[in-house]
Copies of this chain bind each other. A is one copy, B any other.
Amino acid sequence: MSSKVLPLSGFPELLPQERIVEQRFLDVVREVFELHGFSSVETRAVEPVERLLGKGGDADKEIYGVTRLAARSQERGGSDGELGLHFDLTVPFARYVLENAGKLDFPFKRYQIQKVWRGERPQEGRYREFTQADIDVVGAGELPAHYEAEMPLVIADVFERFPVGDFVIQVNDRKIPEGVYRGVGLDESVGVATVLRIVDKLDKIGADAVTEQLVAAGASPEQAAVCLALARIRTADLGFVEQVRALGVQHPVLDEGLEALAAVVRAGAEHAPGRIVADLRIARGLDYYTGTVYETQLLGFESWGSFCSGGRYDALASDGRTTYPGVGISIGVSRLLGLLVGKGLLTASRKTPAAVLVALVDEADRPRSTAVAAALRARGTACEVAPSAARFGKQIRYAERRGIPYVWFPGAARDTGGDEVKDIRTGEQVAADATTWECPAADRRPSVTRVEPAASTGA
């Protein structure tokens, strides 16, 4: 095969040791999602381009079209219509729900961990191919609000079980800004969506510019001041309710929003204390959110942006007769690990699942070493047999290079002719029987460690 190999910008690939970190993370994600009763779904990688184009703003710039090479000369796409790679997991899930509505039980809790593709210009932390891990609950016709409180608890559970470092999930309810804007009459002069869009730029352009743009759009300076005051409210407890009330604005939609967000924050305080804060600046750009919205930040890496976002939408999908409301949240797996693995903050203890290398006395003795390996595997210990009967020193280096902690020596005990196993980290070598030996729990699988930036000199 040809020798010209170049990495493709935006299509990251991991080395085996980095992949072990990703696998461990995805194991935790899946375990937590399943503990919370979410069912796994996988959708095909392609959707009709027509379906993809309708969603997500300027998505048309980002879509990868897919065409059979053999069909290009004749017609593009063929009988299936033109196809494109999905750019998120929400659009295909909405289609899956419509396609299988008669066979699914609602409310339907599903998780989906898959690659998605976007043809954007690659930059740090932004990829053209990346993995997302989504949960959504979707109802047929209606969806109780308590699921909006459950979503961030699931996410907090994931990040309590995997050493990403300190994180905070910021929540808001779209009805709160909407209620306030309507309460001060901005819905008639400027429009709720326009105000949301301008206030959403607060972090980027600052308060003065936001005020300027609001006024330019038709708001009074007093109205603009209320919008900014609202966006500055952030509390880890129910204090936000008082602070919003203190703005002196009245509107039934605002009342609804405050009650809904209070329920989310209350559940957070009980089940994930310190992890969930009300932040009334959070809006999420997408138009289809109608209730709670979520963003997640890693403390110390706020500039990296949210690596886990979502919200409530009243119309995930509709077939004209039934509307399917939903609430969902999506972990940007590649984005998060691109940061933590890329900066060396998460490392795996070895490059292979193998905990033991079974040494080889000579090639004719391979059946004995293979039998040892089979006995170890039967008891759940991952292992491999040395590739060749090289000097033991060389066999030990084979294990060292891969981070395999134990080397097994068949028949090494001079007195009994029994086996011995050596912990090559300590040098300790003891008698052992493959049919009874217990690999220490900490070594059974590669371990993943969070390295603090200051202490990054270790292994």
- Which residues of chain B come closer than 8 Å to A284, judged between CB atoms? none
Residue A20 is within 8 A (CB to CB) of chain B in the complex: yes
A40 engages B65 (CB within 8 Å): no
B64 engages A42 (CB within 8 Å): no
Given A19-B42, A46-B129, decide whether A1 and B69 contact each other with a Cβ distance below 8 A: no
- Which residues of chain B come closer than 8 Å to A374, judged between CB atoms? 271
**SS class, residues of chain A in contact with chain B:** mixed
B69 engages A84 (CB within 8 Å): yes
- Which residues of chain B come closer than 8 Å to A38, judged between CB atoms? 352-353
B99 engages A35 (CB within 8 Å): no
Cα(A115)–Cα(B44), bound, Å:
9
Residue A155 is within 8 A (CB to CB) of chain B in the complex: no
Residue A382 is within 8 A (CB to CB) of chain B in the complex: yes
- Which residues of chain B come closer than 8 Å to A99, judged between CB atoms? 5-7, 13
**Contacting residue for A15 out of B6, B70, B100, B353, CB 8 A:** B100
Interface residues in A1-32 (C-beta closer than 8 Å to B): 1-3, 5-9, 11-16, 19-20, 23
Q: Which of A90-98, A214-222, A411-419 contacts B (4 or more CB under 8 A)?
A: A90-98
Cα(A388)–Cα(B107), bound, Å:
10
Nearest residue, chain B, Cβ from A23:
B40
> Per-position contact with B for A131-173: 1 when CB-CB < 8 Å, else 0?
0000000000000101100000000010000000000000000
A422 to chain B, nearest CB (A): 17
Given A44-B13, A70-B60, A270-B367, decide whether A353 and B2 contact each other with a Cβ distance below 8 A: no
Interface residues in A70-99 (C-beta closer than 8 Å to B): 70-72, 80, 83-85, 91, 94-96, 98-99
Q: Which of A184-192, A246-254, A313-321 contacts B (4 or more CB under 8 A)?
A: A313-321
Nearest residue, chain B, Cβ from A389:
B144
Task: Using A19-B41, A69-B84, A157-B377 as known contacts, list a sample of 16 further A-B pairs with CB atoms less than 8 Å apart, ordered by residue number in A.
Answer: A1-B98, A5-B99, A5-B319, A8-B83, A16-B110, A37-B353, A37-B384, A38-B352, A49-B69, A63-B70, A64-B67, A64-B69, A105-B398, A109-B352, A270-B367, A271-B370
